[in-house]
Structure 1
Amino acid sequence: MAVTFNHTIIAAKDRVESARFYCEPFELDEAPSWGLFTNGQLDGGVLLQFAEPPVDSQMRHYAFLVDDELFDRAYRRLCERGIEHWADPQLTRPGRINTEHGGRGVCFRDPAGHALEMITRPYL
């Protein structure tokens, strides 16, 4: 069996709010939730599992590769909701997107403070 990525747990102040925050702009499929987890599902069955502490709540960085059409829709939603965003992970270029690596990218924070990056082309 080849190795594939299956799931990650994302610490959240409010797991339902965080799941909604990710699922809405990225148009993620709903996934059954259980126990401590509220879930969102990426293509290929990969789960994002949101849980409230005592799960480690240290800030993390999550990058999502999306196509150009989804980038446009998701970016529009971020702007409509007034979500602060930057063109770079260092957060030095506010209110902009980047056009590096032959595509477009934007960084923003989720409700728990995790850094999210949305890109249209992989870096490598």
Structure 2
Amino acid sequence: MSATFNHTIIASTDKHASARFYRELLEAAEAPSWGPFANIRLADGVLLQFAEPPAEIQPQHYAFLVDDELFDRAYARLRDEGIEHWADPRRTRPGETNTEHGGRGVYFPDPSGHGLEMITRPYL
């Protein structure tokens, strides 16, 4: 069997709020939660587990490849909910999306301060 990505733990200030944010934005499925985790499952089976660590959260970057239709719906949610977003990772183009790499992309924060990115075409 070749290696595939199975799960990751995302540090959160409120694990339930973070799980809800990702689930609604990415239209992901709920997954059974246990112990310190609030879980969601992406369409490819990857499990995102949200936990509240007893330490300061260090911001991470998470990028999600989505189709054009989901991008449109998610981007509308970002705008409707007043979530700051940028066309670039340096945050010099606020309120915009980009058309790099043959698709569209946008950068925005999650409720715990992690940097998220949605793209419609993979970089490679």
Give the structure-1-normalised TM-score: 0.97
Looking at structure 2, the residues matched to 90 and 50 of structure 1 have their Cα atoms a distance apart, in angstroms, of 26
Alignment pair present for 1:52 and 2:52: yes
Structure 1 residues 9-62: Cα deviation after superposition (integer angstroms, max 9, x where no partner): 000000000001111011001100000000011122211100001267211000
* Separation (CA, whole Å) in 2 of partners of 1:103 and 1:59: 26
Equivalent residue, structure 1, for 2:83: 83
- Tell which deviates more after alignment, 96-105 or 43-52: 43-52
Aligned length: 124
Where does the alignment leave 5 or more consecutive residues of structure 1 unmatched?
Answer: none
Task: Point out the more displaced range, 90-99 or 53-62.
Answer: 53-62
SS of alignment partner, residue 57 of structure 2: coil
Q: Which runs of 5+ in 2 are unaligned?
A: none
What letter corresponds to residue 10 of structure 1 in structure 2?
Answer: I
Q: Within 5 A, what are the aligned runs for 1:31-110? A: 31-54=31-54, 57-110=57-110
Sequence identity, in percent? 72
Q: Which amino acid aligns with 2:53?
A: P
Shift of 1:6: 0.4
List 4+ stretches of structure 1 deviating above 4 A: none
Instruction: Please tell me the residue identity of whatever aligns with 2:86.
Output: W
Q: Label 1:8 to 1:56 Cα distance change in 2 as closer, same or farther (>3 A).
A: farther
| Separation of aligned partners in 2, 1:10 and 1:112 | 9
Secondary structure at the residue paired with 1:4? coil
- Kindly provide the amino acid, as one letter, of the partner of residue 70 in structure 1: L
Residues 86 and 92 of structure 1 are in contact (CA less than 8 Å); yes or no, is this contact kept in structure 2?
yes
- Give the Cα–Cα distance (whole angstroms) in 1 for the partners of residues 40 and 79 of structure 2: 22
User: Partner amino acid for 1:22?
Assistant: Y
Computed over aligned residues only, the root mean square deviation of the Cα atoms, in angstroms, reads: 1.0
